[in-house]
Amino acid sequence: DTGVSQDPRHKITKRGQNVTFRCDPISEHNRLYWYRQTLGQGPEFLTYFQNEAQLEKSRLLSDRFSAERPKGSFSTLEIQRTEQGDSAMYLCASSLARYDSSYNEQFFGPGTRLTVL
């Protein structure tokens, strides 16, 4: 399978615990994005990387959230001291950004569904 993969697919945790999600993008894609999607809503942008550099963070990304892409390949999203409001689907997407294309099509992974009890 050469698509975007995410692990785990489901995570149930108790309020106050820390959780970490992993995303493996499509090989050679230089951009990687994290989104959050709650029920009945479209995905909301959290942050994105170009190679290993984190270029933008949404105001939705509170201090309890941190994302890394240490070697420019896979990425992790950690949520510290989880709250019930963090319950959502966390989506990862990757793309190959080219200077000569305005498309920059993003390919999404299957998501990690987080439930905070």
Asked if residue 109 binds other proteins (CB under 8 A), the reply is: yes
The site map against other proteins for 2-31 (x = CB under 8 A) is: --x---------------------------
Mention every residue, 6+ apart, whose C-beta is less than 8 A from residue 36: 43, 44, 46, 60, 88, 89, 90, 91
Peptide bond before residue 70 is cis, with ω within 30 degrees of 0 = no
Going by C-alpha positions, the residue among 74, 22, 26 that lies closest to residue 49 is 74
For residue 99, count other CB atoms closer than 10 A to its CB: 4
- Which one among 16, 60, 105, 115 touches other proteins, defined by CB under 8 A? 105
Bridge partners of residue 93, in order along the sequence: 33, 108
Nearer to other proteins, 21 or 111 (CB): 111
Q: How far is the CB of 45 from other proteins (least distance, A)?
A: 5
Smallest gap, in angstroms, from Cβ of residue 65 to other proteins? Answer: 16
95, two tokens: 């793309």
Q: What six digits make up the tokens of 32?
A: 């990687």
41 binds other proteins (CB under 8 A): yes
Residue among 17 and 41 whose Cβ is closer to other proteins: 41
By CB under 8 A, is residue 110 in contact with other proteins?
Answer: yes
Residues in contact with other proteins by CB under 8 A are 4, 33, 40-45, 48, 56, 58, 89, 91, 93, 102-111, 113
